[in-house]
Structure 1
Amino acid sequence: MSEAMLRLSGVEKIYNRGQTSEVRVLNGVDLTLARGEMVALVAPSGAGKSTLLHIAGLLDTPDAGRVEIGGEDMTGLTDRRRTMVRRQEVGFVYQFHHLLPEFSALENIVLPQLANGVARRDAVARAQALLEQVGVGARAGHRPSAMSGGEQQRVAFCRALANGPRVLLADEPTGNLDPGTSDQVFAALTGLVRGTGLSALIATHNLDLAARMDRILRLDQGQVVPG
């Protein structure tokens, strides 16, 4: 079996409501994502997909269980170390692109690299190469407001991969697009994932897109089961 790039073991997350009741969102989640694997995570709204992705990407901490990235246990890391691992090892894509509106497409991809200590010349070259790979190289100098929704999301994909992460986490990355654009954007995302060999966990309501991935997992009553 390929090396596990992301592993969740017995992960639990509980939210309190008032003083007497609690909501157990994740109830002993076990999940393994192999190197180079593209996995769909399917569940209804409110089932805990976003919570799971936030814990997997070190944006949130579980109440129990452990998270491993690249074989390293993330449990108990300092906030500074978690931030460093997240910046270097994990890429995030959301339903809405969240690009910085005052910067061009190229600059949106350059900035996270500069924050990670990459020289500007190298950062620009990588940003342009990523944009070319998803078919929007000619839009490098455009601000988000001058781009279509599909183009904006492709730029967001490039930004997520700017620092060469080993794990990509995507939360409904095509959920805000029409079906035709969704297919094109998903094809661009697949090309990036396959071209770089990173591991991707993609939450989606779109069963057609899910069927194109290596595996489908379903979040059911706080646990991950085969789809």
Structure 2
Amino acid sequence: MNDRTAPALSLAGVGKTYNPGRPNAVEVLRGVDLDVAPGEVVALVAPSGAGKSTLLHIAGLLDTADIGRVSLGGRDMTRLGDRPRTAARRDQVGFIYQFHHLLPEFSAIENIVLPQLANGTSRAEARSRAAGLLAQVGLENRGKHRPAALSGGEQQRVAFCRALANAPRLLLADEPTGNLDPATSDRVFGALMDLVRGTGLAALIATHNLDLAARMDRQVRLEAGRIVAA
């Protein structure tokens, strides 16, 4: 049972080393401590190769830490088996990546409906929610279009809606506008922030764009494998 007053995400002493015990071992994370409160939008600022994707994957239960604790909504996820981890990830976490990864054979609205159907939502309810999310990002008239018929910015906005389809408590985004030109990036990021603010979920958004980071509630920096205030 999740505690609604607890941090949406809590990382305590999280460490991760690739190829441990070998000459080519790489210690990526070294005792990361970070809390993200419900409704808070936190910018994770770090250059490429600093380990921010690894941190997001561990936070979202896609990867496991070597040491430390990962909690979602006050519930310790660290020692869960594969099935409960998968269920927690499906129910509580939404992911956005630099590339949209939309299914090309399905329309925009179908791309948002599918994860809801996988989570047991009725088709009618799923389509209603998908249509509502598309309207929030200004794509109410583009729902029947397949990804190839959408611009890059439109595709990424559909990906945002898909990430929020199952009403997660935590959104994790890895350079969500990094593949867009500056003008489109600014507009699309505004749509993302409107979505996040409208749903009140917590968000941890990795970016190297300091202008975008400044629009969030708080900035933290990943430096030498640890989190420091930006």
The TM-score bracket by the shorter chain reads over 0.9
Q: Which runs of 4+ in 1 moved over 3 A?
A: none
Gaps of 5+ in 2: none
* Worse-matched range after superposition: 9-18 or 186-195: 9-18
Find the aligned partners of 1:107 and 1:115 in 2 and give their Cα distance: 12
SS for the counterpart of 2:130 is: helix
Where does residue 134 of structure 2 map in the other structure?
131
1:4-83 alignment runs, 5 A limit: 4-16=7-19, 19-83=22-86
Find the aligned partners of 1:92 and 1:161 in 2 and give their Cα distance: 8
Find the aligned partners of 2:134 and 2:24 in 1 and give their Cα distance: 48
Find the aligned partners of 1:134 and 1:88 in 2 and give their Cα distance: 23
How does the TM-score come out when normalised to structure 2?
0.97
Q: State the shift of 1:18 in Å.
A: 8.2
| Among 124, 147, 153, the residue aligned to 1:150 | 153
Where does residue 90 of structure 1 map in the other structure?
93
In the comparison of the two structures, how many residue pairs are matched? 226
Find the aligned partners of 1:224 and 1:73 in 2 and give their Cα distance: 20
SS for the counterpart of 1:139 is: coil
SS for the counterpart of 1:41 is: strand
Find the aligned partners of 1:213 and 1:23 in 2 and give their Cα distance: 31
Where does residue 223 of structure 2 map in the other structure?
220
Q: Which amino acid is 1:34 matched to?
A: A
Find the aligned partners of 2:67 and 2:57 in 1 and give their Cα distance: 15
1:27-76 CA-to-partner distances (Å, cap 9, x unmatched) read: 00000000100000001110000000000000000000010000000011
Percent identity of equivalent pairs: 71
Q: State the shift of 1:205 in Å.
A: 1.0
| Among 198, 206, 221, the residue aligned to 2:201 | 198
Find the aligned partners of 1:204 and 1:19 in 2 and give their Cα distance: 31
1:120 aligns with 2:97: no
1:173 aligns with 2:193: no
